[in-house]
């Protein structure tokens, strides 16, 4: 059974930075696009970013305004989300998800999520 | 940007009943709609992709239909584990969700 495990969440002050990681196992990580999606407490799902299998293509939600960066290290089977200038409204569970293809917009498997709380 | 609306917001049904959930796109999206199920404290799980294709391991009581702007997720006979939130999805957009709860 494939596995995605997020880490790096926690409590952070507004304006600070945080980097999330997503460790993948039991599938060929380097062959698939990967996504980050978040869910604020009691709210719906918000798609954030996608990266292609070979890192050459990335795409972001307009709402992020350049504050977040998605990246990956295929040698480590790990996906990252660098989050800068954090705001209270960034408080959410952050999920990484595997794409069905090398680059697309269909998330066919999700990790269990990492909670990020932005508060002073 | 495309907007997805879902109805109803909440569906109260009993086990064994049929559930019909709707998703409408603000523009035509061909067949490119997926449905996800989310239970409390869990990650979303892909149920249906390309409007009508069941994902791996999804029971056949789940079915999807539609194209263009109007899509439907049907659960033929609700099992206790089916009471959950359901989201429709197109590319970078999710609908607001339909909660299926026990009547």
**CB B87 to CB A45 under 8 A?**
yes
Residue in chain B nearest A50 by alpha carbon:
B92
Confirm or reject contact between A44 and chain B (CB < 8 A): yes
Using 50 as the pLDDT threshold, list the residues of chain A that sit under it: none
Query: 């990681």: which residue's tokens?
Result: A21
Two tokens, residue B66: 């539609």
In 3D space, the residue among B95, B19, B98, B3 whose CA is nearest the CA of residue B63 turns out to be B19
pLDDT of res. A50: 98
pLDDT in tens, A17-52: 999 999 999 999 999 999 999 999 999 999 999 999
Length of chain A: 120
For residue B57, report the phi and psi dihedrals to the nearest 5 degrees.
Answer: 85, 0
**CB A45 to CB B36 under 8 A?**
yes
pLDDT of res. A65: 80
Residue in chain B nearest A104 by alpha carbon:
B91
Is the preceding omega at residue A114 within 30 degrees of 0, hence cis? no
Query: Which of B43, B92, B96 has its CB closest to that of A105?
Result: B92
List the pLDDT tens digit at each of the 103 positions of chain B. Answer: 999 999 999 999 999 999 999 999 999 999 999 999 999 999 999 999 999 999 999 999 999 999 999 999 999 999 999 999 999 999 999 999 999 999 9
Instruction: Find all residues with CB under 8 Å of A49, minimum gap 6, and list them.
Output: A35, A36, A58, A59, A60, A61, A64, A68, A70, A81
Two tokens, residue B6: 């879902």
pLDDT of res. A118: 98
Two tokens, residue B72: 């439907």
């Amino acid at each position: 059974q494939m596995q995605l495990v997020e880490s790096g969440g926690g409590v952070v002050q507004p304006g600070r930075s945080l980097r999330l990681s997503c460790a993948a196992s039991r599938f060929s990580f380097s062959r698939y696009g990967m996504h980050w999606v978040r869910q604020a407490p009691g709210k719906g799902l918000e798609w954030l970013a996608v990266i292609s299998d070979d890192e050459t293509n990335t795409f972001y939600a307009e709402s992020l305004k350049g504050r977040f960066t998605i990246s990956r290290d295929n040698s480590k089977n790990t996906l990252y989300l660098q989050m800068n200038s954090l705001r209270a409204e960034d408080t959410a569970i952050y999920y990484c998800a595997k794409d069905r293809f090398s680059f697309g917009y269909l998330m066919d498997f999700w990790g269990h999520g990492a909670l990020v709380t932005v508060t002073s | 940007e495309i907007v997805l609306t879902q109805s109803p917001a909440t569906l109260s049904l009993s086990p064994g009943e049929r559930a019909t959930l709707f998703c409408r796109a603000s523009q035509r999206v061909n067949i490119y709609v997926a449905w996800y199920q989310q239970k409390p404290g869990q990650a979303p799980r892909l149920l249906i992709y390309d409007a009508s294709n069941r994902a791996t391991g999804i029971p056949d009581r789940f079915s999807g239909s539609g194209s263009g702007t109007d899509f439907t997720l049907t659960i033929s006979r609700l099992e206790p584990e089916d009471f959950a939130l359901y989201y429709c999805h197109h590319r970078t957009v999710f609908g607001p969700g339909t909660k299926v709860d026990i009547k």
